[in-house]
Amino acid sequence: MTNLPVHAGLDYHQGSIQTCVVDETGRQLLNRRCRNDVVEVAEAIRSRGEVRSVAIESCCGAAEFAETLHAATGWPVTLAHPGYVNRMKVNPDKTDFSDARLLADLDRVGYIPKVWLAPREIRELRTLVRRRQSCVERQKAAKLQLTSLLRTRRMTSPEWAGSRWSLRWMEWIRTVAASENERWTIDSMLEDLAYLKNQIRRAETRLKMVTRDDQTVAFLQTLPNIGPVTAWVMRAEIVRASRFRTGKQLARFCGTSPRNCSSGERVADSGLIRAGNPHLKTVIIQAAQRLRRCDPRWSVFANRLERAGKPACVVVGAVANRWVRWLFHRLKEFEASMRTESCMA
């Protein structure tokens, strides 16, 4: 080993990691495939000089590897921003060898936008939240399939069954006259729905237990029209307001910022940006719907936009954007008070 300052780029895969090491001038010292093992990768990098920084392609499993590598070596290990990693895919020279070299070289000059690595407990909370969301989406798809089947067969529920998915409606669908194959299909779909309902209930029970002592989740639930599901998702995805400089930046992260379209001298908003966290965007739009109807402050704001001729979707998007920026300041105040209490304790 020499004292030559070096920078490393790691192209992460489940079974192997392409490891590239360059010096301060950009000269390549090593570029070879290692097993997905912290000790082997660390030895390969350490053998080329004194490590100044390590950049890892941000993908599934990379966060765990980055945390383990940092704990084992003490090196500054960062994740490359997913947007940048996605641009690497359109590189005409798209190989593991070139990806690792590109990461190492750009890390050397400090060009890679870095990703914030959440603590392990937050990553585990995200796993639980996204598991619940996955079950909800599958439940929605199963309901659409059953509805489509009934519509195709022109089966209509009687008046006594009430609204769709109510207890009476479910009783009717279990006994409705159908052919043998249709009956089997309907029963199979109902079994899927029962299973998914149970999985959602189990996930929510687990989330309640995990977050019962989380003061941020408790604070979020004190806000008007914010329930436990919204609080869980916001805690898992936003984590803390101090990660962001302004409320506008937080709104962009949540995907509630308006998308600007311009042509010549004409500038106009065109819906919400496609970027942003999809999990957050979903629950915040749902919260904005409730705020628009139930909260006096946001009802006044929404009514003013409606009188100006804005469509309902634009009104909801505007409420969501303004509310997230308002939330940023409330979270900053809460976090400041928590720091003060911890210092006084």
d(CA 219, CA 331): 9
Q: What is the predicted pLDDT for the residue at 341?
A: 80
Question: Rounded to an integer, what distance in angstroms lies between the CA atom of residue 296 and that of residue 164?
Answer: 31
Residue length of the chain: 345
Q: Which residue type occupies 205?
A: T
CB atoms within 10 A of CB 300: 9
Across 307-338, b (16+ Cβ under 10 Å) vs e yields eeeeeeebbbbbbbbbbbbebbeebeebbeee
pLDDT the model gives residue 323: 96
User: Tell me, what's the pLDDT at 281?
Assistant: 92
Instruction: Give the residue ranges of the chain where pLDDT is below 70.
Output: 1-2, 82-94, 109, 111-114, 260-270, 345
CA angle 100, 105, 106 (to 5 degrees): 100
> Where are the strands (E) in the chain, listed by range?
5-12, 16-23, 28-35, 50-57, 77-80, 114-115, 258-263, 266-272
The whole-number pLDDT of residue 82 equals 63
Q: Pairing relation of β-strands 50-57 and 77-80?
A: parallel
Question: Helix or strand or coil: residue 294?
Answer: helix
Strand partners, 30: 21
Question: pLDDT tens, 76-135?
Answer: 888 877 666 566 556 666 677 777 877 787 777 676 666 778 888 999 999 999 999 999
Cα within 13 Å of Cα(249), Cβ side = 8
> How is residue 282 written in tokens?
């979903």
pTM of the model: 0.78
Whole-number Å distance between alpha carbons of 59 and 210: 26
Two tokens, residue 77 = 């290990």
